[in-house]
């Protein structure tokens, strides 16, 4: 109730200024050369903007709109932690379930340290293994099953739970554990527990799901002559729990509202609390010069920005695609930005949002 009273004092004009400024920012970026983008803005728990910009492919005439589907890349990780929290709440698995022997096909280079690695460690990037272990093999299209056979060659750089090291292959082991706990494959779990109840009607899994979406973007990479369209990258779809989801800005606006507690029958308050709780300090973060109290939670990053606390964020980057989602659950205000090219605009708009938030929303 106190939060609702506090929010009522924020002038409507301030909310409009934030939306107008971000909308103008993306319009300008498209005019200056990025192929296309999609933007969703939620202010105080209300969707204030859903809009597409530019085209799905340079040289084409199909416009991007708020229903246009993008590969989400690492924003996919947020769905994994949510499914885990739901299954934990149902008693099907525990956060501290050990990877070994739960997954019999996994062995670690140091069995003594390896026996302490848990689901919680996987989903907070605190397994203790070398950061980005075998991400390079994924990008070389080495099969996921083959990569798992080589995990016993990866060294530990700290004890499990003691340091942060971003992972993709290791993170996907979390999806394997959830499939084992539920008796259903991981994509089916996400569809049944999240996509369907939240009515994320454009969301899908995998390369086939992406290609079967008639309203989808084409990725673009930077060349000497500007941006050029390329084929969608298939390799990260091998690790669906880390990078397998496709979705639109409309879908992610619903996802954000669920993170704010608007869908308690799908995401209980206790589920949200555990996901957003900081777990391990994350020093390796491209925004770190401007942020403080930077942590990785479970599938989400958390930080404070210039004295304002409580931001939650995740981004994604796969060949020709950038995605960003950032919000503050305290004021139920956030932004989703999706673009079909590799551009610094994706990084800059997060800082732009944070500055606008402090100017128009943060009422200290």
- Per-residue pLDDT tens digits for 12-49: 566 689 999 999 999 999 999 999 999 999 999 999 99
Q: Stretch 195-217: mean pLDDT, rounded?
A: 98
Q: ∠53-57-61 over CA atoms, to 5°?
A: 75
Backbone torsions φ then ψ of 254, nearest 5 degrees: -65, -40
Kindly indicate the confidence band of residue 288, based on its pLDDT and cuts at 50, 70 and 90.
Answer: low
Average pLDDT in the chain: 94
Is residue 221 within 8 Å of residue 233, measured between CB atoms? no
The CATH number corresponding to 2-71+218-228+244-360 among 3.30.1360.70, 3.40.710.10, 3.30.420.40, 3.40.1190.20 equals 3.40.710.10
Choose between 6 and 172: higher pLDDT.
172
Kindly indicate the confidence band of residue 225, based on its pLDDT and cuts at 50, 70 and 90.
Answer: confident
Best CA proximity match to 312, nearest among 342, 341, 289, 336: 336
Token output for 351: 């800082």
Kindly indicate the confidence band of residue 50, based on its pLDDT and cuts at 50, 70 and 90.
Answer: very high
Q: How many CB atoms lie within 10 A of CB 93?
A: 17
Residue 13 has a pLDDT of 60
pTM above 0.75, yes or no: yes
| pLDDT at 98 > cutoff 60 | yes
Token output for 146: 């083959």
Residue 5 has a pLDDT of 30
Residue 179 has a pLDDT of 98
| pLDDT at 128 > cutoff 60 | yes
| pLDDT at 149 > cutoff 50 | yes
Residue 338 has a pLDDT of 98
Residue 285 has a pLDDT of 66
Kindly indicate the confidence band of residue 9, based on its pLDDT and cuts at 50, 70 and 90.
Answer: very low
Is residue 290 within 8 Å of residue 306, measured between CB atoms? yes
How much of the chain, in percent, has pLDDT values that exceed 70? 94
Q: Stretch 191-200: mean pLDDT, rounded?
A: 98
Is residue 274 within 8 Å of residue 285, measured between CB atoms? no
Best CA proximity match to 352, nearest among 31, 39, 7: 39
Kindly indicate the confidence band of residue 290, based on its pLDDT and cuts at 50, 70 and 90.
Answer: confident
Q: For strand 70-71 and strand 226-229, is the pairing parallel, antiparallel, or unpaired?
A: unpaired
Residue 284 has a pLDDT of 64
Q: Stretch 162-166: mean pLDDT, rounded?
A: 96
Which residues is 220 bridged to in the sheet?
229
Q: For strand 291-296 and strand 220-223, is the pairing parallel, antiparallel, or unpaired?
A: unpaired
| pLDDT at 116 > cutoff 80 | yes
| Omega of the bond leading into 62 within 30 degrees of 0 (cis) | no
Q: Stretch 278-303: mean pLDDT, rounded?
A: 86
Kindly indicate the confidence band of residue 362, based on its pLDDT and cuts at 50, 70 and 90.
Answer: confident
């Amino acid at each position: 109730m106190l939060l609702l009273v506090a929010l009522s004092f924020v002038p409507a004009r301030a909310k409009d200024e934030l939306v107008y400024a971000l909308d103008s920012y993306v319009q300008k970026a498209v005019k200056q050369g990025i192929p296309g983008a999609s933007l969703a803005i939620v202010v105080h728990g209300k969707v204030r903007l859903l809009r597409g910009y530019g085209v799905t492919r340079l040289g084409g005439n199909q416009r991007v709109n708020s229903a246009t589907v993008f590969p989400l890349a690492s924003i996919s990780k947020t769905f994994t932690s949510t499914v885990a929290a739901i299954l934990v709440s149902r008693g099907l698995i525990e956060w501290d379930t050990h990877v070994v022997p739960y997954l019999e096909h996994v062995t670690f280079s140091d069995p003594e340290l390896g026996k302490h690695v848990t689901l919680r460690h996987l989903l907070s990037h605190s397994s203790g293994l070398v950061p980005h272990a075998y991400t390079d093999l994924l990008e070389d299209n080495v099969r996921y099953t083959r990569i798992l056979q080589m995990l016993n060659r990866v060294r530990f750089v700290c004890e499990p739970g003691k340091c942060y090291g971003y992972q993709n292959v290791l993170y996907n082991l979390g999806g394997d554990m959830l499939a084992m706990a539920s008796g259903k494959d991981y994509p089916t779990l996400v569809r049944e527990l999240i996509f369907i109840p939240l009515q994320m009607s454009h969301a899908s899994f995998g390369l086939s799901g992406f290609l079967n979406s008639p309203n989808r973007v084409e990725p673009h990479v930077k060349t000497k002559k500007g941006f050029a369209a390329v084929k969608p990258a298939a390799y990260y779809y091998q690790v669906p729990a880390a990078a397998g989801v496709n979705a639109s800005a409309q879908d992610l606006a619903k996802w954000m509202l669920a993170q704010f507690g608007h869908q308690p029958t799908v995401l209980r308050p206790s589920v949200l609390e555990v996901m957003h709780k900081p777990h391990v300090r994350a020093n390796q973060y491209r925004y770190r010069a401007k942020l403080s109290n930077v942590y990785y939670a479970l599938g989400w990053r958390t930080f404070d920005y210039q004295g304002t606390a409580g931001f939650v964020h995740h981004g994604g980057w796969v060949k020709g695609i950038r995605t960003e989602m950032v919000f503050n659950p305290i004021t139920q205000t956030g932004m989703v930005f999706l673009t079909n090219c590799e551009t610094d605009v994706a990084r800059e708009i997060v800082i732009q949002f944070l500055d606008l938030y402090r100017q128009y929303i943060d009422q200290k």
